[in-house]
Amino acid sequence: MFGIAKKEKPSIIFDFDDTLVYTNQIFDDIKNRFLWEMQNLGFADGHVLQVLNQFDIANVQKYGGFYKECFPFALGQTYEFYCIRQKVLIDEAKKQYFISLGETAYAITPKEVPQAKMVLSFLQKAGYPLFLLSKGDFQVQWARLKQVQMDSYFQVIKIVPQKTTAVFAEFCREQQINPHNAWSIGNSMKADINHALRIGMNGIHVPNPSWDYEEEEAIGDYLVADCLWDCIRFIEHTEKE
């Protein structure tokens, strides 16, 4: 089922957000704060976060990727949407305040997923070529990598606005990675597993909570890790087969 060649150590391509560090929680905390403030403004219809999500997804699609403006803008747009719908005058200062609230997401240092550095260190010392393919805003992702001191574990770090099958294929070509002798490890079925499976890579899903945008059915066989340490077990076991 998993076509790992036995000669060379397989390459391992990690995802970053909600695979090695928790970022979803940062956004959820801000969303809850936003909801509370919107309720105080009289905009409590039970759908505020759904509307916010729709604007957020639309922004990602409009700008063509996960740029840092998408989420803060969505907060401002949601506020504006409710003002117009409820025929309330838009307070520009309030709108700017909500945009700034969204921007605070990028100033918070994310928490490390348990064992993340231990697992990276183990795999690095065991001689596995480690790579990071992270989706998001270039400056934000680099800053976070430095904050949590994970940048030194990877041979190559690539930050892309969007993960697609073509992005995985190009990355493997650039780094001379044989997809059949490589693993993709990530929390998103859509972004980390399905694209990898399409080019013949092996996938390990680390099911940490992620954003609605990421939900998708699996297109093939993959492994599920209860914790990051399981990844070592799976990779070493497959090598011995």
Tell me whether residue 84 is exposed, middle or buried, using C-beta atoms within 10 angstroms of its C-beta: 0 to 12, 13 to 18, 19 or more: exposed
Closest CA to 34 of 122, 101, 125, 116: 101
CB closer to Mg ion out of 15 and 56: 15
The nearest distance, CB 194 to Mg ion, in angstroms, is 13
Rg of the Cα trace of the chain?
A: 20
AA identity, residue 169:
A
18-26, 43-51, 90-98, 140-148 -> range binding Mg ion (CB under 5 A): 18-26
Residue closer to Mg ion by CB (options 77, 188) is: 188
- Closer to Mg ion by CB, 20 or 235: give it: 20
Of 16 and 55, nearer to Mg ion (C-beta) is 16
Interaction mask 169-208, Mg ion, x per CB under 5 A: ------------------xx--------------------
Smallest separation, CB 82 to Mg ion (Å): 30
Residue with tokens 């990844």: 231
137 binds Mg ion (CB under 5 A): no
18 binds Mg ion (CB under 5 A): yes
- What are the CB-based long-range contacts (under 8 Å, 24+) for 56-65? 56/213, 57/212, 57/213, 60/162, 60/213, 63/161, 64/161, 64/162, 65/135, 65/160, 65/161, 65/162
| Residue 15 in contact with Mg ion, rule: CB under 5 A | yes
Q: Which residue in 17, 106, 205, 222 binds Mg ion (CB under 5 A)? A: 17
Which one, 187 or 194, has the nearer CB to Mg ion?
Answer: 187
| Dist CA 189 CA 192 (whole Å) | 6
Contact 202, 156 (CB under 8 A): no
Q: What are the residues binding Mg ion (CB under 5 A)?
A: 15, 17-18, 187-188
